[in-house]
Amino acid sequence: MILEIAQLQVRQGQTKEFESSFAIAQKIIASMPGYLGHELHKCIEQDHHYMLLVRWESVEHHEIGFRKSSEYQEWRKLLHHFYDPFPTVLHYAAIH
């Protein structure tokens, strides 16, 4: 399993709209092969900052299976216009 972590900075004044759109978009990502679960966290100190954590079976499930899918295009339409700057997305593996 890998953990995708995306630092999301939503444009000021658009957090409620973002959260509404995310409620729809999360159904898209949850339907993808290799998806294992996700969490969206809102920053307490800066209410327009979020952290998205998505668990995938592999990096390929995220980078190829999801990002190259037609479903990703719908995800983009729902969410990408809220971000400034565009998010940093990295993948992490647990150390045993």
- Over the stretch 25-53, which tens digit does the pLDDT of each residue have? 999 999 999 999 999 999 999 999 999 99
User: Which helix or strand (DSSP H or E) is residue 39 part of?
Assistant: strand 35-42
Q: How would residue 12 be classed by pLDDT, with cut points 50, 70 and 90? A: very high
Which pLDDT does position 23 carry in this prediction? 98
Average pLDDT (19-25) is 98
Predicted model pTM? 0.95
* Residues 69 and 32 sit within 8 Å (Cβ to Cβ): yes
CA–CA distance from 40 to each of 2, 20, 55, 82, 95 (Å)? 16, 12, 12, 15, 23
Average pLDDT (63-90) is 97
Fold (CATH) for 2-93? Alpha-Beta Plaits (3.30.70)
Q: Which amino acid is residue 96, in one-letter code?
A: H
Q: Domain locations in the chain?
A: 2-93
